[in-house]
Chain A
């Protein structure tokens, strides 16, 4: 089966079945999550602090090992993947972090290029043997996020918003089948936050892939998301279009009502 055929036939991007995670035995954080991602576009995950949103995203690319359940991705179960197979699956999952997590002492363009590390040997990485194609893509991506003139600067000389753009470019550089973003806008001002969401929306549309975004700002979430997932106490309590979220739902997700204006 050829690769193109594969994507054309693909009916779903990611299927999470009965996912459970306990950091300490007997104290489940995720208590059986079922999510089926069938369409490209932004999926916003909302929920109170400590409910396990980060845990969920980090289970998907196995920065955390789930306790039980299945994560079906690219015809494989991510929960069972190990070693080289795990790395192969990981490179198809791009991740954007709240604290950007760039390698500060490398240049901006090199940070974008690290998105290709999963496709290279360590020896090639050491010798900076990126293919010309990768280098071209990296510059195109930098152009797309508006940082062309910063390419040769060190990452630690950028502002937060600029760093997050680099973070997104790095994730897209992986040529991922799905994007994960853990509170990508929480450290940024409202205007920059919108710009970052626009970038995520744009790349998910261009690449025709879904982007799972953990986010605390419900308004911002409903503005960009095609689908909202509300989590509370380790389970999914709402899953549907943003328009369908009522104050009742929000009360159920976050508890209390005094904060609802």
Chain B
């Protein structure tokens, strides 16, 4: 006697209905949003024309402008990204330690650290930059702090997760030797977290190079300032120069990071 039901369907009726409901909601949302953004057909239609026009103004690229203003601004951008990433560590490392359940065993600490990590991530770097520009005035300091505060959440969260993945057996063994808490941190946790740490920091630095390139649009220093000025003056050949420089530096940062990470593992 065979009582086992061999009938099988991928989705039950209830699942099917809910899937259709989701599709329906998506279509409605799409139609709604098209209506609410009020796309003006004329603007949409001549967009290709406008684009072609802009490109023709960008060409030929004003390479002579590079030594005049772009180079220094580019260096400033890299400095903002690097300094910002380093300052992040001052906050992110303690928060990561507080957030790792295998280091601090207190719900209070976890909530506090999570609060700071989430706040840092939920505010866009441009908003951080606006905030710091209004405190410190326009310039590099605002850019550095914007990058730093934006990155705390990212670095702190990933680092905390990496810490939670260490082999607790080794930690226990060091505890059994009578090592102090700090020694265990340095000789047990750190060697195990080290590859992840550098990987995370480099990854964030790479993101920060890209982010700091736009910070200048709100006055927080770097290449963005040059870009903004040229745009305001309709000097499209100079805009093109700045964009090209950003493009090259982003690619270079990527290559550097990929190569270092390869060596770490």
Does the CB pair A106–B191 fall under 8 Å?
Answer: yes
In the complex, the chain A residue whose C-beta lies closest to that of B184 is: A117
**Nearest CB of B to A205, in Å:** 22
Does the CB pair A118–B170 fall under 8 Å?
Answer: no
Residues of A within 8 A of B192 (CB): 103-105
Which of A103, A119, A167 contacts B174, CB < 8 Å?
A: A103
Does the CB pair B187–A117 fall under 8 Å?
Answer: yes
**Nearest CB of A to B173, in Å:** 4
Does the CB pair A114–B179 fall under 8 Å?
Answer: yes
**Nearest CB of B to A186, in Å:** 14
**How many of chain A's residues have a CB under 8 angstroms from any CB in B?**
34
**Nearest CB of B to A65, in Å:** 13
Known: A99-B169, A103-B191, A104-B170. A93 touches B183 (CB 8 A): no
Does the CB pair A125–B183 fall under 8 Å?
Answer: yes
B182 in the interface (beta carbon within 8 A)? yes
A16 in the interface (beta carbon within 8 A)? no
B176 in the interface (beta carbon within 8 A)? yes
Residues of B within 8 A of A104 (CB): 167, 170, 192
Which of A93, A100, A103, A120 contacts B176, CB < 8 Å?
A: A93
**Nearest CB of A to B178, in Å:** 3
A95 in the interface (beta carbon within 8 A)? yes
Does the CB pair B170–A90 fall under 8 Å?
Answer: no
Residues of A within 8 A of B170 (CB): 101-104
**Quick one: which of B170, B188, B194 has the most chain A CB within 10 A?**
B170
Does the CB pair A122–B176 fall under 8 Å?
Answer: no
Chain B 207-234 against A: per-residue CB contact (8 Å), 1 yes, 0 no? 0000000000000000000000000000
B172 in the interface (beta carbon within 8 A)? yes
Residues of A within 8 A of B15 (CB): none
Does the CB pair A87–B191 fall under 8 Å?
Answer: no
Residues of B within 8 A of A100 (CB): 169
CA distance A252 to B217 in the complex (A): 81
Known: A117-B183, A120-B183, A126-B186. A87 touches B176 (CB 8 A): no
Residues of A within 8 A of B3 (CB): none
Residues of B within 8 A of A10 (CB): none
A21 in the interface (beta carbon within 8 A)? no
**Nearest CB of A to B182, in Å:** 3
In the complex, the chain A residue whose C-beta lies closest to that of B181 is: A122
Interface residues of A in 92-139 (CB under 8 A from B): 92-95, 97, 99-106, 114-122, 125-126
Supplied contacts A117-B177, A117-B187, 9 more A-B pairs, CB within 8 Å: A87-B180, A90-B177, A106-B187, A118-B178, A122-B182, A122-B183, A122-B185, A167-B173, A170-B173
Residues of A near any B CB (own CB < 8 A): 61, 63, 87-95, 97, 99-106, 114-122, 125-126, 167, 170, 174
What are 13 A-B interface contacts by the 8 Å CB criterion?
A87-B179, A90-B177, A90-B178, A91-B177, A92-B178, A95-B176, A101-B169, A101-B173, A114-B174, A117-B187, A121-B183, A125-B187, A126-B186
